[in-house]
């Protein structure tokens, strides 16, 4: 199965099962405008991450690789009111885009975005 078929299948399920979300759409648009690579999870994968957090009843999340914050938004929105998430991004430019996207999503109160290499002793 070639990559195009994966995209078509992803689009099919996303269009069938999901409503549009202006905050998530804007996060992807602004990431594109800023020249970030399109390496974010697909919308249906984001929703799966969201469901897994809820099913697990997670109150703490560690994400390695924020990019523009698209998956971070999906994950953080699934946390309870007292939940908390740390997300790590090595690239300062990507992290700045993510910070704006997370602020627009009103999630900075529960997301700690740290810039640096995700190795012990390398984070700021």
Ligand X SMILES: C[S@@+](CC[C@H](N)C(=O)[O-])C[C@H]1O[C@@H](n2cnc3c(N)ncnc32)[C@H](O)[C@@H]1O
Dihedral Cα 100, 103, 105, 111, nearest 10 deg = 110
Nearer Cβ to ligand X (74/82): 74
Stretch that binds ligand X, among 2-10, 13-21, 51-59, 87-95 (CB under 6 A): 87-95
Q: What are the φ/ψ torsions at residue 106 (nearest 5 degrees)? A: 55, 40
Site pattern 21..60 for ligand X (x: CB under 6 A): ------------------xxx-------------------
β strands within the chain, DSSP E: 60-64, 84-89, 111-115
In angstroms, give the least distance from the CB of 89 to ligand X.
5
Cβ–Cβ < 8 Å for 93, 115: no
Which residues of the chain form contacts with ligand X (CB under 6 A)? 39-41, 64-65, 67, 70-71, 88-91, 94, 117-118
């Amino acid at each position: 199965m070639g990559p195009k078929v994966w995209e078509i299948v992803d689009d099919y399920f996303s269009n069938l099962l999901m409503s549009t979300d202006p905050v998530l759409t804007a996060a992807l648009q602004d990431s594109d405008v800023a020249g970030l690579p399109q390496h974010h999870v697909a919308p249906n994968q984001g929703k799966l991450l969201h469901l897994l957090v809820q099913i697990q009843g997670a109150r703490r999340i560690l994400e390695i690789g924020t990019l523009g914050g698209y998956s971070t938004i999906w994950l953080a929105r699934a946390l309870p009111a007292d939940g908390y998430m740390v997300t790590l991004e090595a690239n300062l430019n990507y992290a700045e885009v993510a910070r704006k996207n997370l602020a627009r999503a009103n999630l900075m109160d529960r997301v700690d975005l740290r810039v640096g290499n995700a190795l012990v002793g390398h984070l700021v």
